[in-house]
C-alpha cells in the first residue's frame, strides 16, 4: 500500500510525467520503502486502558490515525492501531497493549513514510527520464533534470557526473538515512 499520491509527486517534480508513469513510480517506491523502519520510539510513562501515554512525546507533530504501534511484552510482539491522537502525550489505540510503565514502544511514522515514498518516486522518474534522454545529449546542450541544470559535455557518463546525484534521491536518503544503503 502506497501512502503518497500522484499530485504530491507531481508537486515536487516540475516536469511533465503522465499519471501512469507517476503511479508506477509510486508503486515501485512503496515497495522500496516498505521494509524500512521509519518509526518513532519511546517508553510509556503511564498506563490507561487502550492508551499510549508518554509525557516526553510530541505525538501531534508526527503520529497519524491508522499508524501501527508495537510493544514487546514477555517475549511477545503486541500490535495496536492508533484510532485517535488525543494530545502531544496521549494516543488512543484499538487494543490494550500497555500494562506497565516503562514499556518500550515503536510507532509507524506514516508522514515520514509518505515523504520517503514521494521523493523515491520522483527519484525513479528522474532517473528514468535521464536514461530516455541519454542518447539525445549533444555537446554544449543544457540538460535540466528537476532542479539541476548543466551543460552537456557530449559524453553520457561525463554529463551524468556533471548533473551529479539525483537531487530527489539525495532528499530520499536524507529522509531514511544513508546508513540503510
How confident is the model at residue 148, as a pLDDT? 46
Nearest to 138 by CA among 160, 162, 155, 163: 155
Residue 4 burial (10 A CB sphere; 0-12, 13-18, 19+):
buried
Q: What is the C-alpha to C-alpha distance for residues 12 and 29, in angstroms, rounded to an integer?
A: 15
pLDDT at residue 158 is higher than 70: no
pLDDT, averaged across the chain? 82
pLDDT at residue 147 greater than cutoff 80: no
Cell of 130: 535521464
The pLDDT assigned to 151 comes to 47
181/38 Cα distance (integer angstroms): 14
pLDDT at 132: 60
Between 88-92, 138-142, 169-173, the lowest mean confidence (pLDDT) is in: 138-142
For the cut 50, the answer to whether the pLDDT of residue 135 exceeds it is no
List the single range of 27-41, 93-107, 140-154 with lowest mean pLDDT.
Answer: 140-154
Domains and CATH numbers, the chain: 6-35+112-180 (no CATH), 39-108 (2.40.10)
Q: Is the pTM of this model over 0.75?
A: no
E-strand spans in 30-141? 39-43, 51-53, 68-73, 76-85, 90-93, 104-108
Confidence of residue 111 (pLDDT cuts 50, 70, 90): confident
pLDDT at 165 (0 to 100): 62
Residue range 142-158: mean pLDDT, rounded: 48
Question: Percent of the chain scored above 70 by pLDDT?
Answer: 78
Average pLDDT over residues 164-181: 71
pLDDT confidence of residue 150: 46
Amino acid at each position: 500500500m502506497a501512502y503518497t499520491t500522484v499530485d504530491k509527486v507531481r508537486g515536487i517534480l516540475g516536469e511533465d510525467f503522465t499519471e501512469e508513469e507517476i503511479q508506477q513510480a509510486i508503486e515501485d517506491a512503496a515497495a522500496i520503502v516498505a521494509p524500512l523502519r521509519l518509526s518513532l520510539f519511546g517508553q510509556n510513562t503511564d498506563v490507561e486502558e487502550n492508551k499510549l501515554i508518554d509525557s516526553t512525546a510530541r505525538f501531534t507533530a508526527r503520529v497519524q490515525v491508522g499508524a501501527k504501534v508495537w510493544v514487546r511484552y514477555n517475549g511477545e510482539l503486541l500490535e495496536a492501531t492508533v484510532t485517535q491522537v488525543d494530545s502531544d502525550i496521549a494516543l488512543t489505540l484499538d487494543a490494550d497493549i500497555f500494562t506497565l510503565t516503562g514499556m518500550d514502544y515503536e510507532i509507524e511514522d506514516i508522514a515520514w513514510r509518505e515523504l520517503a515514498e514521494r521523493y523515491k518516486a520522483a527519484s525513479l522518474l528522474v532517473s528514468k527520464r535521464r536514461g530516455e534522454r541519454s542518447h539525445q545529449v549533444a555537446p554544449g546542450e543544457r540538460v535540466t533534470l528537476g532542479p539541476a541544470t548543466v551543460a552537456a559535455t557530449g559524453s553520457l557518463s561525463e554529463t551524468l557526473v556533471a548533473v551529479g546525484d539525483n537531487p530527489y534521491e539525495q532528499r530520499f536518503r536524507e529522509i531514511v538515512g544513508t546508513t540503510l544503503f
